[in-house]
Amino acid sequence: MTSRYILHLFRFITLFLLLFTCMTGCEKSGTSESKIDPTGGFGPQVIKHTDKLYDVSTAGNGHVWVVGYFGTVFHSSDSGLNWSRTDVGTKISLLGVHFIDEKSGWIVGDQGMILHTDDGGDSWDRQTSPVTDEKLLKVQFIDQEKGWIVGTYGLMLHTENGGKNWERLPFEEDVILNDLCFINSARGWLAGEFGLIFYTEDGGRTWVKQLEDEMGRKLFGLDFADHLRGVAVGNEGVIYTTINGGKDWVLKGANNDTLLKVAFADEFHATAVGLRGCLTFTEDGGDNWRSVCPLDHFTWLSGIAYDKSGRGFAVGDGGKILISVDSGLNWVPYYQPAAQ
Query: How far is CA 100 from each of CA 142, 143, 331, 338, rounded to the nearest angstrom?
Result: 7, 7, 25, 35
Nearest CA to 268 out of 249, 294, 304, 241 is that of 241
Higher pLDDT, 74 or 5: 74
Q: Which pLDDT score, from 0 to 100, does residue 9 have?
A: 45
Average pLDDT over residues 187-201: 98
Say what the pTM is. Answer: 0.87
Q: What Rg, from alpha-carbon coordinates, does the chain have?
A: 19
Residues in contact with 21: Cβ distance below 8 Å, sequence separation at least 6, in sequence order: 275, 300
Q: Which pLDDT score, from 0 to 100, does residue 19 have?
A: 53
Answer whether residue 106 shows pLDDT above 70. Answer: yes
Q: How confident is the model at residue 45 (pLDDT cuts 50, 70, 90)?
A: low
Summarised one tens digit per residue, pLDDT across range 246-263 is 999 999 987 889 999 999
Percent over 70 (pLDDT), the chain: 85
